[in-house]
Chains A and B, each alone.
Chain A
Amino acid sequence: MGYYLGIDVGSISTNLVLMDENNVVYHQIYLRTEGQAIKAVKKGLLELRDKVGIESSEILGVGTTGSGRELAGVIVNADIVKDEITAHAVATLETVSPDIRTILEIGGQDSKIIILQDGIPVDFAMNTVCASGTGSMLDNIAGRVGIEIEDIGPKAIKSKNPADIAARCAVFGESDFIHALQMGIPMNDVIAGLCNALVRNYLNNVGKGKEIKPPIVFQGGVSENAGVIKAFEEALEYKLIIPEHNKVMGAVGMCYLAKRKIESLASEMSLQIDYPESGGTATATQTMPRLTKFYGLELIDVAFETKTFKCDGCANMCRIVRAYKDGDVIATWGDRCGKWST
């Protein structure tokens, strides 16, 4: 079998998705990034090799996205590196329906809205400097009273009378939250109020000025939360579609984009990608030259490291980051002037 690999390195989670040539998601991995993108990517690849039993030659193409897409792209030598908006839109259009008009996406620190027309993303918005209205707002406030993020949804949907929680800022939201509890309002109502606050913040901030038309898809980590789904449906008065791979849509999108990239390379070279019968092993790659630039799963055992230094060429004192593979420099970035960048 031949597979395409999509990697989404976000601020909170790193997701890997393996999709086969028939566009079926074969395996998905959801890991915490914990600030260490290289480690998280390697951990994901290790799972693919040791637990799923994938061989390097079966991977036909690799794409990376997310805020860590450049670093991840360098580490694996990705065929394509793309922004999250494109990746999410492609995944939804391919796996849900080409008729989707609106995509709501809420992740750990990012939230986005994508407006589509005739299967083309024509407008988008992302949260600006503030993380209120994202998953971390739920995580932090609920975490303060010892509620796990997974338990928020089930508690919230039990509420018949949600409390009023300020939505503008997570700090104000938290004081309202604590105040409501001190007044003796039941926990379920306070949690439901928190979900409403998140939705209100999202619609007034990220969704401001956008025409939200059905069909609407809701994805990203927060789309797991039944309380937020209910709050959205009440506010928008439309049913939301939650896709099957809602938590890893960015990575799914990158599988499709990697596939398109490799197929266009093949057609440029007038090669036919000769997919083997399922069950076969590495034959896909034997019939044609390997088109992917992917370093292979061997990179798990390769020492990658990044080193930084301050350039003293001018008063900017840019912090230059260099990535090394087995001691050799593979990429440099971080400068404003272009003296070091590769």
Chain B
Amino acid sequence: MKRDKVTFPHMGNIYVGLDALFERFGYDVIVPPKITQDTIRTGSKHAPEGMCVPFKYVLGNFIQVMEKQDVDYVLMAGGIGPCRFGFYGHMSKLILTKLGYTPKFIILEPPAGRWFNFTIDVLKLAHWRIKDIMPAIHWSVAKMELTDRLEEELYMKRIAYEPQKRKAEKLYIKYVNRIFKADTYEKLDEIKKDAFEEYESAIPIDNDRDDIIDIEITGEIFILLEPFSNMDIVRKLGEMGVRVSRTSSSSKWIRDRILTFLADKNKEKSFERAIRKAEPWMKVPFGGEGIETIGHTVEAAEKGFDGIIQVMPFSCMPEVSAKDVLPDVAREVGIPFYSFIFDEHTGGAGFQTRLESFVERARDVKNKNRKSDRTVVTVA
């Protein structure tokens, strides 16, 4: 019997989870080619000029897949509220239809009050294998979470210490590939153990080095998670001697935004906490991750980070709105702040200059605070 082919766009490590999910539902999973210059070239050729750049990556990815083969299903997340992300699925469908590609689109809207539609969509996607749904979701989230853990706890923290350039990245790619191929929970445990051990011996953390600083990245989710789209900000910071953290990940995003029914109702989610922290400055969410960005800035100062960087696509309304209050927020809570806007451009000279300057400032401020023995004033 012919198996259905399914595809989805890239965003950070989400492919690891989606591949695992659909494989359990009996699909032929077509993972799109890694995002490259070719993706954005293709995407911006067919997308409306004024659209924000993540859409161009998503559309480019779809076309890259469909040029090579017929696809039966496309999975895309949807959205509600004042952010263009909600249009992505519907608009890709229109553009792809014009180009002669007619796969079935399943657009998962967050189930805010629309439980019926959401359930039907999930059941359709799962080929009505009701019993398989929960175990498949669990497995898919487990894979994604491990990938994110390796990225955040090992790769992003150890670039600053690597003995040869790109050593941390090479190890990370090796382990992600192993996770991608793994087919049992036992194998995931084994990979986790191996990865932590190998990083520890190959790139040990040297806590005596006081030139190493900690910087958190926040902002719009796609740019935050997709290295090509943010000019490899994590690796560039790492090579400047920074231990990098970020405020969201593929698995957190999926858990908080799509799989809300899995969450413990009594526990405050990280984005809810961020919204609470943003309250002195902004009381009403205004789309995308805008309000969370404000809250995360406050939290980064509380956690003692040496700097916070906001990343966003050009013309991103929620993040631009957040950016207008962020200099004040950052000054009040006492954390160096900088904001970067990304679009189709690949000229990295200006970006490199600003990034280097910011890291220097953050380091100077840290040394100054250390000397004067002053603790950073934080707002609870």
Contacts and interface: CB of A to CB of B under 8 A. Distances in A.
B368 A83 contact: no
A11 to B, nearest CB: 9
A83 B327 contact: no
A121 interface: yes
A314 B36 contact: yes
Interface in B324-379: 324, 327-328, 336, 341, 343, 345, 349-350, 353-354, 356-358, 360-361, 364-365, 368
Identify whether the interface residues of A are mostly helix, strand, loop, or mixed. loop
A222 B354 CA distance: 21
Contacts of B169: 338
A283 to B, nearest CB: 35
A97 to B, nearest CB: 18
Contact of B37 (A85, A122, A317): A317
A208 B37 contact: no
A124 interface: yes
B204 interface: no
A45 B234 CA distance: 37
Interface in A166-215: 208-210
Given A83-B353, A120-B368, A336-B232, A208 B361 contact: no
A33 interface: no
B33 interface: yes
Interface string A306-342: 0000000011111000000000000000001010010
A315 B350 contact: no
B354 A86 contact: no
A84 B350 CA distance: 11
A82 B341 CA distance: 23
Given A129-B341, A315-B36, A209 B327 contact: yes
Given A315-B38, A317-B38, A122 B361 contact: yes
A338 B166 contact: yes
A123 B334 CA distance: 11
Contact of A67 (B36, B343, B350): B350
B241 to A, nearest CB: 14
B165 interface: yes
B357 A84 contact: yes
A227 to B, nearest CB: 27
Given A83-B360, A317-B37, A122 B354 contact: no
A209 B328 contact: yes
A126 B358 CA distance: 11
Contact of B364 (A121, A129, A317, A338): A121
Contacts of B357: 83-86, 124, 126
B368 to A, nearest CB: 5
Contacts of B368: 117-118, 120, 122
A314 B35 CA distance: 11
A117 B368 CA distance: 10
A148 to B, nearest CB: 28
Contacts of B36: 314-316
Nearest to B169: A338
Interface string B141-185: 000000000000000000000000110010000000000000000
Q: How large is the interface on B (under 10, 10 to 19, 20 to 34, 35 or more residues)?
A: 20 to 34
Interface in A20-60: none
A278 interface: no
A270 interface: no
B185 to A, nearest CB: 32
A115 to B, nearest CB: 9
Contact of A120 (B343, B345, B350, B364): B364
A209 B329 CA distance: 10
A126 B33 contact: no
Contacts of A120: 364-365, 368
Contact of B361 (A124, A210, A316, A318): A124
Interface string B197-228: 00000000000000000000000000000001
Which of A67, A210, A316 gathers the greatest number of chain B CB atoms within 10 Å? A316
A272 interface: no
A122 B33 CA distance: 42
A128 interface: yes
Interface string B22-60: 000000000001101111000000000000000000000
A210 B327 contact: yes
Which of A67, A83, A84, A118 gathers the greatest number of chain B CB atoms within 10 Å? A83
Contact of B360 (A85, A314, A338): A85
A86 B360 contact: yes
A121 B357 CA distance: 10
Nearest to A317: B37
B350 A338 contact: no
Contacts of A85: 353, 357, 360-361
A82 B357 CA distance: 9
A209 B332 CA distance: 12
Contacts of A118: 368
Contact of B353 (A67, A316, A336): A67
B38 A316 contact: yes
Contact of B365 (A82, A122, A318, A338): A122
A234 to B, nearest CB: 24
B349 A67 contact: yes
A278 B280 CA distance: 62
Which of B328, B336, B357 gathers the greatest number of chain A CB atoms within 10 Å? B357
A117 B353 CA distance: 22
A22 B228 CA distance: 47
Nearest to B165: A338
Interface string A119-160: 011111010110000000000000000000000000000000
9 contacts: A67-B353, A83-B360, A85-B353, A121-B364, A123-B336, A124-B357, A124-B361, A128-B341, A315-B37
Interface of B: 33-34, 36-39, 165-166, 169, 228, 232, 314, 324, 327-328, 336, 341, 343, 345, 349-350, 353-354, 356-358, 360-361, 364-365, 368
Interface of A: 67, 82-86, 117-118, 120-124, 126, 128-129, 208-210, 314-318, 336, 338, 341
* Smallest CB-CB A-B distances: 5 pairs: A209-B327, A85-B357, A315-B38, A315-B36, A83-B356
Given A120-B364, A121-B364, 18 more contacts: A67-B350, A83-B356, A85-B353, A117-B368, A122-B364, A126-B354, A128-B341, A129-B314, A129-B343, A209-B328, A210-B327, A314-B34, A315-B36, A315-B37, A315-B38, A316-B36, A336-B228, A338-B169
